[in-house]
Structure 1
């Protein structure tokens, strides 16, 4: 018997900034409507989102259209690279993809952040729903994809868009992924 599960990983739409309460821009709200159209032909069982405002706003039009309650999961919040301002943060981020355990002041290692989102996905793979959408953030999304393909790293993160959509497919015990948003 073949068991197929799909987890759609959505990176939030264009936002006003990176703070936890940053809202979508005018363009971001238009993108959220485009996202709802994108998913209109897919039978969605669950929607789980980061508690950040920009993530919730990105999926609200679809949730409303499907009459599905958005579940909030703190494990989907963006990874904190450091609580200190880092001028060369992109170099530090690149290094954190190369060294899984590297931590900067007040921050979280790639390994710690990856474990959070993988835990969410594994719980989804083990529940009854066939098609689940999770809405998260770029760095965390990249670390999740890196979990299933070590070649997805810093460059993969750089190539993500706002929004972006990948699907993780679990067929029996094999997990693959594919980018769906272009």
Structure 2
């Protein structure tokens, strides 16, 4: 079967998808990025009022993409967030944790569809905007281009955003040879 957008199906992220999501996430984002414990936490952070803001994409019965999104009011502000610059109340902001698409399936609109599904679910949960920390070291800076193309606005750059995960959580950056030095772009997408 030829690869085309019509052959890709979408649905809510569910616990039975965890093994495939962990495998895909670690292959694309770097070893140690996802594990059973943090994925279960991320899944729970995406549930609010019976609405699930996490989504997956399938092609030929395999998960080829996923979007992890935290519901508004269920995620914590940390030192990598600048809420005074957002122009939106914190209670109305979801967090776009991760969007991952199998490299062999990129270019078919899967990432954008997953983002649109997450925006729809987050809006039903009460969000008016979503925050993301975009990995500026993605190949060809594709993550920044993708999020900008979909309406994301740069708020601030944060050097060494993933360094702590590399030092203390077992994250193995696929770009940096030693400790992760990657820069994150704090971006806001209003909807």
User: When the two structures are superposed, what TM-score results if normalisation uses the length of structure 2?
Assistant: 0.28
Higher relative contact order (Cα pairs below 8 Å, separated by 6+ residues): 1
Higher strand share: 2
